[in-house]
Amino acid sequence: MIDLQLVRDDPERVRASQRARREDEGVVDVLRELDERRRAAEHRASELRAAQKELGRRVAKAADKAPLLAEASALAAEVRVAASAEEEARSELRALHLQVPNVVAEGVPPGGEDDYAVLGEYGPPPRLAADGPYRDHLELGEALGAIDVARGAKVSGARFAFLTGWGARLELALVNAAMDQALGAGFVPVVPPVLVQPQTMEGTGYLGAHADEVYRLADDELYLVGTSEVPLAAFHAGEILDDLPRSYAGFSSCFRREAGSYGKDTRGIIRVHQFDKVEMFVFTTPEDAPAQHERLLAEQRRFLDALELPHRVIDVAAGDLGTSAARKFDCEAWLPSQGRWMEVTSTSNCTDYQARRLGIRHRGGSGTVPVATLNGTLCAVGRTIVALLEHHQRRDGSVAVPAALRPYLGGVEALEPVTRSPAPGGGNGGGGAGGAAGGAGAESSRAASKG
């Protein structure tokens, strides 16, 4: 949550942030009113409690206690009323306070999803439609025995898939490559839980406006995380951290309902309900947060460069930041089959917004103050596989393996198409247990020896 002192001292900055996000700026005035009401209620309750204590001392010393006891009874009733008003004021303030998004950082483009600023394009030149036609990742993945959406739908429904043979090996290779890079850059590897309590989800800002994206287990009052940012952020909840920065790299499965995405990226594995990620997370001081944000972006770009993927970096507009982020950079890879950019990683500076909710502090010059939290996906496995297949495809249907990834795939330089079993109901969508096993055996023998 945002700092209420900022709302008191510089309300126009918060209003400007709301305007940039295309949110209601009137909420700032309501927040100020509720804050004043809460402080007045706390002051009134505090005065009455002090009076009650003083009266208690007088009663203890009085010879004739009866008149004072009657006064104490009346004062106790006033204290109860004041305490109720205090609790009500606090509750109303907190309810609104939790809904107000983070204050955007200076320089963030105003506007919505399409108002981003392109900061640069990197890597090899994108393969353009004029050079095609190009097969999309699903056609390539099926031919390689790597992706099976037909059986994913049969088993789990729409927006699920099996990764088989080379698909499964690519997943493990990418995760290990990403973890090795993170470890070399000073991140502590973590495998976090993926079921979290409501206060954890709320503390990271993923309830409220984002609640329709979250899977909830009502009988257990637990939530499936959509990113390991959630458990990593809460890792130090309620703690005071003396040694900063602290850097973690979490690997987990992630789950998103994809509510509101009807009709978007329905083909293949670009937008699915379950996927895996390696997520970087940093706790640091607010002053160091911008530098750490650049560090996370540099690690993301280094990973994409190692995979020899053309990509660009955008400065996400205020209205597309989400609740917790004050600034966000996205890395987008080029999809030659569609002639467009696709988000593959994102990194956010959440300043002290999450730490205030989660009670994570550090010792500053004037006592303990909230830390800053930052997150950044190093490898969203599914989307990275999509980009790898499409960009590194060759005319004969094989897919070249970038040099940096070859040690994690037994040294092979290219993936060759394999024979697969029919998909459920006929056709070539398959690769079940028998097909995957046969494909995996054929892959090593058929892997090309040339790049």
Largest CA distance in the chain: 104
Q: What is the pLDDT of residue 430?
A: 37
Whether residue 400 sits in one domain with residue 308: yes
Here the tokens at position 164 are 């088989």
Whether residue 273 sits in one domain with residue 238: yes
pLDDT, average across residues 65-83: 91
Mean pLDDT of the chain: 90
Lateral strand order in the sheet of 367-370:
240-241, 361-364, 367-370
> Phi/psi at 100 (nearest 5 deg)?
-80, 125
- Specify if 105 maps to a domain: no
| Catalytic residue chosen out of the listed positions 21, 38, 256, 357 | 256
Whether residue 197 sits in one domain with residue 50: no
> Phi/psi at 80 (nearest 5 deg)?
-65, -40
Condensed to tens digits (0 to 9), the pLDDT of residues 18-37 reads 999 999 999 999 999 999 99
Condensed to tens digits (0 to 9), the pLDDT of residues 273-296 reads 999 999 999 999 999 999 999 999
256 a catalytic residue? yes
For residues 89 and 38, the answer to whether their CB atoms sit within 8 Å is yes
Q: What is the pLDDT of residue 261?
A: 63
The domain tally of the chain equals 2
Whether residue 20 sits in one domain with residue 164: no
Which has the closest alpha carbon to 386: 338, 319, 435? 338
**Position 150 pLDDT exceeds 50:** yes
Among 55-69, 71-85, 109-123, 316-330, the range scoring the smallest mean pLDDT is: 55-69
Whether residue 415 sits in one domain with residue 281: yes
Give the domain extent around 363: 117-434
Condensed to tens digits (0 to 9), the pLDDT of residues 256-265 reads 998 666 667 7
Cα 5 to Cα 62: distance, rounded to the nearest angstrom: 45
* Residue found by looking up tokens 């970096």 in the block: 313
CA distances from 245 to 351, 361, 398 (A): 13, 12, 44
- Specify if 441 maps to a domain: no
CATH number at residue 34: 1.10.287.40
Which has the closest alpha carbon to 230: 259, 258, 206, 255? 206
Which has the closest alpha carbon to 68: 55, 83, 84? 55
- Specify if 111 maps to a domain: no
Whether residue 279 sits in one domain with residue 381: yes
- What residue type is assigned to position 408 of the chain? Y
Whether residue 134 sits in one domain with residue 93: no
pLDDT classification of 443: cutoffs 50, 70, 90: very low
Whether residue 221 sits in one domain with residue 193: yes
Q: Which residue has the higher pLDDT, 258 or 351?
A: 351
CATH number at residue 225: 3.30.930.10
| Catalytic residue chosen out of the listed positions 271, 312, 406, 446 | 271
| Catalytic residue chosen out of the listed positions 346, 348, 398, 421 | 346
57 a catalytic residue? no
pLDDT classification of 118: cutoffs 50, 70, 90: very high
Q: What is the pLDDT of residue 178?
A: 98
pLDDT, average across residues 44-65: 91
Q: Which residue has the higher pLDDT, 137 or 62?
A: 137
pLDDT, average across residues 140-164: 96
366 a catalytic residue? no
In the DSSP assignment, the letter for residue 109 is P
Whether residue 91 sits in one domain with residue 121: no
pLDDT, average across residues 183-205: 95
Q: What is the pLDDT of residue 264?
A: 75
Whether residue 278 sits in one domain with residue 165: yes
Whether residue 307 sits in one domain with residue 179: yes
